[in-house]
Amino acid sequence: MGVAAVVPAAGSGLRLGAGKPKALVEVAGVAMVARAVDGLLASGVVDEVIVVAPPEHVEEMAFVTAGRVVPGGHDRVASVALGLAEVGDADVVLVHDAARCLCPSSVVEAVVSAVRAGHGAVVPAIPVADTVRRVDPDGHVVDLVDRTGLLAVQTPQGFDADVLRRAHAAAGDLRATDDAGLVEAIGGEVVTVPGDPRAFKITSELDLAMAEALVAAL
C-alpha cells in the first residue's frame, strides 16, 4: 500500500540540445531530475520514487537523485513501463516527467487525493491560453478549434496501480503521448484536477531560462 512515483527521465533532450540527457541539465545548480524527485518527496504524500534513466546514465542519475534509478527504454511509454515494473505494493502510482521539475506540492497532493477519492486516472490540467487553429500540412488554416473545454495536460498523472498496469499491459504498439491516454484506450475514465503554470515542461532553451528565472523569483 502507499504511493509510488515513476519519474521518466530517460529522454535525450534533443530539442534542448544541451549535449547531455535533459534530466541531468541543471536549473539554478540542481539537476532537473533531482528537483523533480525532491518536489515529489517534499509533498509528503509520496512514499517511494523510481527514476527511469537513459541506460548509460543510470549511475550518474543515482548519484544526483534521492530516487531508486532503473534503465529506461526507447520512448516514454517504454520507459514508464520499465519503471512501473519496479513498483512494489503501492496502490497509487504517479507518473511525473523529470522535465516538469518545478511542479508545486499542491498539484501532487491534489492528484493523490483525487485517486484516493476513487478515480482510476487523474491528470492535472490548465486552460489553453491561446487561440487554437487546425492547419493542413502546408500550414493553411482548416478551421478554428473551439477552445471551450480544451485543457493542456501536465504531470504528475495519478492512477490506481491496477488500472495503470492494465493500461500498459494492453498498450502493445500504441504510442500515447501520456499515460492517461493508455487508460482511455482501454475504456477507462480520466478526470482532471487543476494544474499549475509552474508545472510547465522544460523543452527548449527558452523554457530553461524561464525555469531559472522562476527559481530566482521564488
Ligand X SMILES: C[C@](O)(CO)[C@H](O)COP(=O)(O)O
Maximum CA pair distance of the chain?
Answer: 52
Sign of CA dihedral 187, 151, 21, 66: negative
Considering the rule CB under 6 A, would residue 168 count as an interface residue with ligand X?
Answer: no
Residue 177 site contact among ligand CTP, ligand X, none (CB < 5 to 8 Å, cut-off depends on kind): ligand X
Considering the rule CB under 6 A, would residue 14 count as an interface residue with ligand CTP?
Answer: yes
Say if CB 117 and CB 131 are below 8 A apart. no
Considering the rule CB under 6 A, would residue 11 count as an interface residue with ligand CTP?
Answer: yes
Considering the rule CB under 6 A, would residue 198 count as an interface residue with ligand X?
Answer: no
Contact residue for ligand X among 82, 155, 159, 190 (CB under 6 A) = 155
Burial of 19 per CB tally in 10 Å (0-12, 13-18, 19+): exposed
Taking CB under 6 A as the binding criterion, the range among 42-50, 107-115, 147-155, 159-167 that sits at the site for ligand X is 147-155
Contact residue for ligand CTP among 65, 79, 154, 157 (CB under 6 A) = 79
Q: What is the rounded distance in angstroms from the CA atom of residue 33 to the CA atom of residue 31?
A: 5
Burial of 86 per CB tally in 10 Å (0-12, 13-18, 19+): middle
Taking CB under 6 A as the binding criterion, the range among 5-13, 142-150, 156-164, 210-218 that sits at the site for ligand CTP is 5-13
Considering the rule CB under 6 A, would residue 205 count as an interface residue with ligand CTP?
Answer: no
Residue 155 site contact among ligand CTP, ligand X, none (CB < 5 to 8 Å, cut-off depends on kind): ligand X
Looking at the DSSP bridge assignments, the partners of residue 51 are 7, 69
Instruction: Give the number of residues in contact with ligand CTP, rule: CB under 6 A.
Output: 23
Ranges of H-type helices in 16-172: 32-42, 58-64, 76-84, 105-116, 161-170
Backbone φ, ψ for residue 122 (5° rounding):
-130, 130
Considering the rule CB under 6 A, would residue 72 count as an interface residue with ligand CTP?
Answer: yes
Contact residue for ligand CTP among 15, 133, 147, 175 (CB under 6 A) = 15
Considering the rule CB under 6 A, would residue 52 count as an interface residue with ligand CTP?
Answer: yes
Q: Which residues have a Cβ under 8 Å from the Cβ of 2 and sit 6 or more positions away?
A: 47, 48, 89, 90, 91, 92
Considering beta carbons, is residue 91 or 207 the nearer one to ligand CTP? 207
Question: Which of positions 19-38 make contact with ligand CTP (CB under 6 A)?
Answer: 22-23
Amino acid at 159: F
Considering the rule CB under 6 A, would residue 177 count as an interface residue with ligand X?
Answer: yes
Considering beta carbons, is residue 11 or 39 the nearer one to ligand CTP? 11
